[in-house]
Copies of this chain bind each other. A is one copy, B any other.
Amino acid sequence: MKTYLDCIPCFVQQALRVGRLSTEDEKEIKNILDNVGSLIKDIPMESSPPEIAMYVYSKIKKITGNPDPFRKDKINHIKKAQKLYPHMKEILEESDDRLFTAVRLAIAGNIIDLGTAKTFNIEEDILKSLHQELTINDYQSFKKQIHNSKNILYLGDNSGEAVFDKLLIEEIKKPVTFVVREKPVINDITKQEALEIGIDKVAEVISSGTSAPGTVLSTCTDEFLEIFYNADMIISKGQGNYEALSEVDAPIFFLLKAKCHVIADNIGVDEGSLLLMEKK
């Protein structure tokens, strides 16, 4: 997905938010905004938003010297998600179709996103999402593809969300490789959080090599690209991964909540829609 004009004020808004998390010095935050503002003219609109975000966030990192301003939030989100875990397991036990329920939980977990401007309440919003119909629902094809796949690549997104990804991976009952970002960016999952959650107990954990908040293939390692292109099936979580991969020819299923009007318009659904969508 290309970058839309609407993404530009959103980048500036994100810069302000990260600035405030990184430092309390107003002048330093203003300096971040100055730098991100000057960077707008260099934004190639044909690049995807996570590709641009990578430059924006690395600029902010350089200025503040804070490599992981969202670390506290990530720990907090993981804790909250883990608190819900036993209840989610119960829901799963009682459901008629465990795999489908796990898919819905994994999509619900995608609300835990600090990139978009929306605020969220993990407990409330996850439970609410479980009662919301999927606007695009390619579950039958998803199920069939799992059945036919020998190796499944699972692209992680936000850290707290991965608690629910773990739950889905347990239901897939096939060898799964779980992919994390190489370096911290927003509240996206890195190897550190994956190990804290214990994803390594249900899947092999690898890094894509990127420090973008999405699997931008041009920034991934050759090693990862080989795995990516040889996967029988790719489960892609979240907006950033959708934005990076929406035009890539691969057997991808996108699981996400469309959290801003730009991505919702791009897909052709209403903002707030929950999606299990096969790449056509």
Residues of A in contact, count (CB < 8 Å) = 23
- Assembly of this chain: how many copies? 2
Which residues from chain B contact A16 at a C-beta distance below 8 Å?
Answer: 5-6, 8-9
* A97 close to chain B: CB less than 8 A: no
23 A/B residue pairs, CB under 8 Å, sorted by A: A5-B26, A5-B29, A5-B30, A5-B33, A8-B12, A8-B16, A8-B37, A9-B9, A9-B12, A9-B13, A12-B12, A12-B40, A30-B45, A33-B40, A34-B41, A35-B41, A36-B40, A37-B38, A37-B39, A37-B40, A37-B41, A38-B38, A38-B40
Task: List which A15-66 residues lie within 8 A (CB) of chain B.
Answer: 15-16, 19-20, 26, 29-30, 33-41, 45
Which secondary structure characterizes the binding site on chain A? helix
User: Which among B6, B26, B34, B45 is the interface contact of A40 at CB below 8 angstroms?
Assistant: B34
A33 to B33, CA, bound (A): 14
| Residue ID in chain B nearest A15 by CB atoms | B9
Which residues from chain B contact A41 at a C-beta distance below 8 Å?
Answer: 34-35, 37-38
A16 to B30, CA, bound (A): 21
Which residues from chain B contact A29 at a C-beta distance below 8 Å?
Answer: 5
A36 to B39, CA, bound (A): 11
Chain B: minimal CB distance from A24 (Å): 12
Which residues from chain B contact A37 at a C-beta distance below 8 Å?
Answer: 8, 12, 36-41
A38 to B29, CA, bound (A): 16
